[in-house]
Amino acid sequence: MSRTWSMRLVTAAATTVLTALTLSGAVSAHGAQLVTLSPAEGPAALSTAVGPAADPVPQQPSSFAARGGVAWFSAYDPTNGYSLWRSDGTQAGTSVVDAGIDPTYLTWAGAMLFFAASDTTNGEELWVSNGDPGNAHVIKDAVPGTAYQNILSVTASGNRVFFTACDDTYSCEPWVSDGTPNGTFRLHDIAAGQASSNPREYASAGSVTVFVAGDPGHGDEIWRTDGTPAGTKLLKDIDPGPVSAYPYDLVRLGGKVYFWANDGIHSWEPWVTDGTRAGTRMLKDIAHGTVSSVDGDGSNAVVYQNRVWFVADDGTHGNELWRTDGTPAGTKLGVDVYAGAHSANPYSLVAAGNRLFFSARDKHHGYEPWITDGSRAGTRLIKDIAPGGADSDALNNEAAALGSTVVFTATDLAHGLEPWASDGSPSGTFLLSDIAPGSQDSDVRYMTTVGSLVLFSADDGTDGAQLWVTDGHAGSAHTHAVFSP
């Protein structure tokens, strides 16, 4: 008996690889197989059968979480639907971990991988896994049956996570989990009843975790929790009464958390907290009075040189790089990139090695990649990727530190937004791969450092969003799809 498959022919040097052909007898019982055929031997010379059809290929990868040189992520394949996957950047090391659970908000806390997921029995709930195949499971059916808990964020703090979950009874409130059913519970019904406190931006400050939440009596303010209901309380009503201070851009450094808030007198300025009311204070009135020192793009805050670096405008130097050590005296202008009252508008700050990469503009260039060592003399344009006054949008969409190199997206106008790399020098700044040929964008997303590699999602314009990998060097051997179509 014979069975016929459709044929796909790929040539490679002196060997022709056939993924399907007409076979008969016992071989056909195994389905489509990979065989090699030497053209010199003629079409009848079957050389080798090396195994069954290939494993599923991950499509639309997202929500990466890296640990120990491996990344776990969500991806789709036609056989399993959306599933939990893992990859070390090689095809052999990329596989489905748990099928059909549609994970999001993947977060490692200690040795446990937490994430939101759903199945036909529980609806969306918080899950946990040790990262091995078949280990993922629902921690607790917090909303019984197939109803959805609707988890909005998951943030690690030591060996547990804080997360925001919504249901029809309490709406959106803060929760905590240590990976066990008894250790997974709602911390507080901050906005009583079906109103939502919309908790967000959890960050550790010493032994407590601070976050932003709102209630009718105080508006959106800064809260704290020690992981217990009794220890979950308003930290400080920065703008007293029901008016919101709207804290945002929480950044942890040491045992403190830095953020930006509006106290109703000074507009949005930098603040710091050690998790106590007395230790929660404004650092500096940078813009003076009711004028805000930050614009709609936020603070762009990042930790560098044991300081928090951010972007602010004091009304004299324009929107430039600032830094703080957590004291009023130590909160000062870092670098005036575009000297004088002009604004360089730095954004997308990325610390790599002992330098800070960012995007900025000056009199002669649009938004391009810059670098600083923290001094004015050590601050310079790296490369004019999009010549003249055009914008390369460098670091604007995606960026990841890879040792002392940064992998990022940019456009040189001849190519769309594609992955680039820079070691901080003009000659060491280059296009990694023109994934979507010509002026098309390859829609690079989710750049994640995994050991000595960066994994990301990209679309070549033909095969949809696929898993890609780069080691930061030029050439197709160094930047390529993990699974070639």
Whole-number average pLDDT of the chain: 88
CATH code, domain carrying 430:
2.130.10.120
Q: Which of 27, 53, 79 is the last residue of a domain?
A: 53
Per-residue pLDDT tens digits for 91-117: 999 999 999 999 999 999 999 999 999
| 231-273 tens-digit pLDDT | 999 999 999 999 999 999 999 999 999 999 999 999 999 999 9
C-alpha 104/C-alpha 47 separation (Å) is 45
Q: Is residue 94 part of a domain?
A: no
For residue 68, the tally of other CB atoms under 10 A from its CB is: 10
What is the predicted pLDDT for the residue at 51? 35
Lowest mean pLDDT among 89-98, 137-146, 391-400, 461-470: 137-146
CB–CB of 357/406 below 8 Å? yes
Contact call for residues 339 and 329 (beta carbons, < 8 A): no
Domain end, chosen from 32, 53, 74, is at: 53
What pLDDT score was predicted for residue 146?
A: 65
> pLDDT for 349-358, tens place per residue?
999 999 999 9
pLDDT band at 54 (very low <50, low <70, confident <90, very high): low
Residue 392 inside a domain? The answer is yes
Q: What is the pLDDT of residue 42?
A: 35
Name the helix (H) or strand (E) containing 209: strand 208-215
Res. 28: pLDDT tops 50: no
pTM: 0.86
Residue type, 416: G
Residue 424 lies in a domain: yes
Task: For the beta carbon of residue 74, count every other beta carbon within 10 angstroms.
Answer: 24
- Calculate what percentage of the chain has a pLDDT beyond 90: 80
pLDDT of residue 3: 36
| Per-state percent for the chain, helix, strand, coil, to nearest 5 | 0, 45, 55
Residue 291 falls inside a structural domain: no
User: C-alpha 38: how far from its chain's center?
Assistant: 46
The mean per-residue pLDDT over the stretch 188-197 comes to 91
What mean pLDDT is predicted for residues 221-237? 98
Q: Is 262 helix (H, G, I), strand (E, B) or coil?
A: strand
Q: CA-CA distance, 282 to 265, in Å (whole number)?
A: 11
In terms of Cβ atoms closer than 10 Å to its own Cβ (0-12, 13-18, 19+), residue 111 is exposed
Residue 411 lies in a domain: yes
> Is residue 313 included in any domain, yes or no?
no
Residue ranges making up the domain that contains 441: 346-485
Is residue 298 in a domain? no
Tell me whether residue 2 is in a domain: yes
If one counts the domains in the chain, the total is: 2
